[in-house]
Amino acid sequence: MTYQWQASTLTSTDGYVNAPGLSTSQDYSPGTLTQTTYFQRLATCSSDGVTANSNVITITVNSAGTISPSAGYTWNTQTVSPTFSVTGATSGVGTWTSSNPSVATIGSSSGVVTAVGDGTTVITYSLFAGGITCTTTRSITISNNNGVLPVTWQSVAAEKLSDRVLVRWSTASELNTRDFEVQYSTNAADWQPIGRVAAAGKSESPRDYSLLHSSPQKGGINNFYRILQRDLDGAFSFSKIVSIIMDAPGPDVMVFPNPASNLLTVYIAESQKLRLVNLSGATVWQANLSAGRHQIPVSQYPKGVYLLITNDQPQRVVIQ
């Protein structure tokens, strides 16, 4: 009697090839597997050449997935607490732990990290499925930076602009900031970048930023957004997560900040003529603008209330 073990990573009924290694004995040790694999043993009678297949043996490989943010994550102890997540994990019950709670703690189910002190800790995600626990890890570093905040978040918002979403955020101050990356998700777990905006670098006064997402999911689906802020030294942090449901179109014109003192940012969904009118009815500014983002200098106008005349409803604007 001769034997040949075969393996398949496709299904239990097809895709079989001779198993690697020493696979011609009565018993077989497959070694380390990285994915669910099916095995069968062929037994061939030496006298008549008749071959019979054994029953199929299934070895299920569970995966704890991949943790994000990436390895070496560094942030200031006073910045917004980031949320860690996993992708590619097998369905099951997962819990988060930190190897060094004196450096950072993490919510066992939420994945929200709270910095405690300087140092390095290992974040572990443990997944229990099929009676087996598997883990994946990620090392992170906490740096106090002498208490100087790289960025102080002021606000983050997602708003409708016609059939698109305008993501707006503002900072109260910045130090050594390089850029902002707007990230998008439909489940608040798997994120993809949709745009990048250059940062001020250094600022002690409020700054407003925005990015238009042209292809959000429509209907009753949540559209989630967050901002990844990156520093010149490679450190980074995340804003809070905001969401919006595109169950109906939004306005065709959006204006901010309001009140404004220097620049008035205007987003319009379609090309049109805009006019800025004072309360005496005099037009102080007008232009034919294409769809998209535009900035109107307003510092030269007297402080007070104005109307921005558009194809949609006039919008009240305060210059201060």
What digits encode the pLDDT tens for the residues 219-268? 888 899 999 888 887 777 788 888 899 888 888 888 888 899 888 999 88
Asked if residue 71 has pLDDT above 50, the reply is no
Mean pLDDT for 165-186 is 90
Using a pLDDT cut of 70, give the percent of the chain over it.
88
So what's the pLDDT on residue 60?
Answer: 83
Mean pLDDT for 57-78 is 65
Beta bridge partners of 277: 283, 307
Question: How many CA within 13 A on the CB side of residue 124?
Answer: 12
Asked if residue 137 has pLDDT above 70, the reply is yes
Letter string b/e over residues 50-62, b meaning 16 or more CB atoms within 10 A of that residue's CB? eeeeeeeeeeeeb
So what's the pLDDT on residue 55?
Answer: 94
Q: Please name which of 271, 272, 267, 270 lies closest in space to residue 296, comparing C-alpha atoms.
A: 267
Q: Please name which of 238, 251, 258 lies closest in space to residue 73, comparing C-alpha atoms.
A: 238
CB contact at 8 A, 47 and 35? no
Q: Which strand (E) or helix (H) includes residue 155?
A: strand 151-161
Is 261 or 69 the better-scoring residue by pLDDT? 261
Q: DSSP letter string over 286-306?
A: EEEE-SEEEEEE-TTSPSEEE
Is 190 or 36 the better-scoring residue by pLDDT? 36
Cα 189–Cα 191–Cα 195 angle in degrees, nearest 5 = 155
Mean pLDDT for 274-278 is 92
Q: Please name which of 97, 91, 122 lies closest in space to residue 109, comparing C-alpha atoms.
A: 97
So what's the pLDDT on residue 115?
Answer: 72
Q: What is the CA radius of gyration of the chain?
A: 29
Assign 146 to helix, strand or coil: helix
Note the helical H segments in the chain: none
Q: pLDDT digit string (tens) for 187-230?
A: 877 889 999 999 888 888 888 899 999 999 988 888 999 998 88
Tokens found for residue 57: 């043996």
Mean pLDDT for 128-143 is 76
Q: How confident is the model at residue 68 (pLDDT cuts 50, 70, 90)?
A: low
So what's the pLDDT on residue 78?
Answer: 45
Mean pLDDT for 66-92 is 59
| Total residues found in the chain within this entry | 320
Domains of the chain from N-terminus onward: 2-59 (no CATH), 66-146 (2.60.40.10), 149-245 (2.60.40.10), 253-319 (2.60.40.10)
Question: How many CA within 13 A on the CB side of residue 132?
Answer: 11
Q: How confident is the model at residue 306 (pLDDT cuts 50, 70, 90)?
A: very high
Asked if residue 275 has pLDDT above 50, the reply is yes
142/120 Cα distance (integer angstroms): 6
